[in-house]
Structure 1
């Protein structure tokens, strides 16, 4: 690892509202790939459990101990001045990580790459899926019990193209910013971030279906080149940390090199001092 760069890698091995076992398997493959790329050991947090297939509240109860453990891991990492990088199974893990980041780095912008908004609340969700509430909890739109502290002006949704009407109303009515897929996605993202420190969250379904195995397939997503260009722009800022999830594995040996190459600029920048 380069001198002056401190990165702590976490493999979230717990439950987080999983509806298939492929997300947990994907997190294992991703953690191995990140460990090799970053040259740091992955610390496993949480315990894989049988699938529940239940509504958000039962899933949250089942996941709470694991989510609290990963929040504590993040607090410890950030307290040492290191930067967290995490391989997670499902986006609901952000219920625990983002409040810690928001408290430790109130200057940082959360750049949320996802096909979805994930800003439903228990009152608006029709699916009952915990992951659909993942970003709304840290924003304080509902009380997850895992904290909040993130404000809409510090969130940028990138690649979102499948928002339900309540989510669309929230985006339209707050300072939360959307950067849609398209030829100018990287340039638009850079303009919105405007040099501020960033914490990067990537759901694999932000990408065009078929690029990376993932549960959701929403056409019109980012290409790997789009993601790489976005990450190159973000790497001009201080990268506070990175979490990657919603990668599924069905064989246990998927080659994630193209994905990590696209993320390369932010992975390489994570843990380095910001400009200036």
Structure 2
């Protein structure tokens, strides 16, 4: 990273995507407010808010995308502006599908960066291959250009690394078997494998809370064999060895704004420190 770039990227730019984005229920919209409040307390700054909560539709991907598109486009514009200004995005999302808006802008402004996708799922399905038609299951494939979401693409397969994915559909597995997209599995060797996969490159971190072992935090999906908070913290330490160009946290569900996202924020502390010291 050049001295000029380092000087420009000094202030984390907090964002809260508050809207509906392919939701099965309303709990991630409440949960995103909880995460945003935790990040605001951590950084001592209030986030820019994009969108507003609306009742979940729980319908197919096309209708969900059409309903979410205006707020997704606003999110894309937010990222475009803050990245053009040298900001480092730190973002609370409702659902993973908001990455359809964020990742193309990251790819455009930081084509050198690796998107590290922490998720129990690969999210590499397309409208043609998805067995469920769930918009969130298309969240990474859109930025990779595997289908046209209307929000852009540009993320290269070699710049995508899945971490903790274990509920993988056959079409997604075939993509992974080609070896163009990295996969780091849960296990004792995760930190070393993650370090090798990143290979010193800048990182943009996407965290779907269901990458964790079920029961640690509330999420929509519960897939056994996930990370512990300690393993997530160790992964964050590895990623903090690189330049962290941003982080987004999604799929934290809550029925009450009185709940807390402190365990997640604490586990990500090495990444958050890295963002501040850029």
Q: TM-score, normalised by structure 2?
A: 0.95
Give the alignment of 1:43-122 within 5 angstroms: 43-122=48-127
Alpha-carbon offset, residue 251 of structure 1: 2.2
Q: Aligned residue for 1:158? A: 163
The answer as to 2:164 corresponding to 1:197 is: no
Alignment partner for residue 217 of structure 1, among 206, 210, 222? 222
**Counterpart Cα distance in 1 of 2:153 and 2:179:** 17
Structure 2 residues without counterparts, runs of 5 or longer: 1-6
**Counterpart Cα distance in 1 of 2:120 and 2:139:** 13
**Secondary structure of residue in 2 paired with 1:270:** helix
Alpha-carbon offset, residue 184 of structure 1: 1.6
Contact 2:35 2:260 in 1 (8 A): no
Contact 1:239 1:271 in 2 (8 A): no
The answer as to 2:154 corresponding to 1:145 is: no
Give the number of aligned pairs: 271
The answer as to 2:226 corresponding to 1:226 is: no
CA RMSD of aligned residues (A): 1.1
Alpha-carbon offset, residue 208 of structure 1: 0.3
Structure 1 residues without counterparts, runs of 5 or longer: none
**Secondary structure of residue in 1 paired with 2:86:** coil
Alignment partner for residue 235 of structure 1, among 229, 234, 240? 240
**Secondary structure of residue in 1 paired with 2:268:** helix
Which contiguous aligned blocks of 4+ residues in structure 1 show a shift greater than 3 angstroms? none
The answer as to 2:14 corresponding to 1:6 is: no
Contact 1:152 1:174 in 2 (8 A): no
**Counterpart Cα distance in 1 of 2:45 and 2:180:** 37
**Counterpart Cα distance in 2 of 1:204 and 1:253:** 18
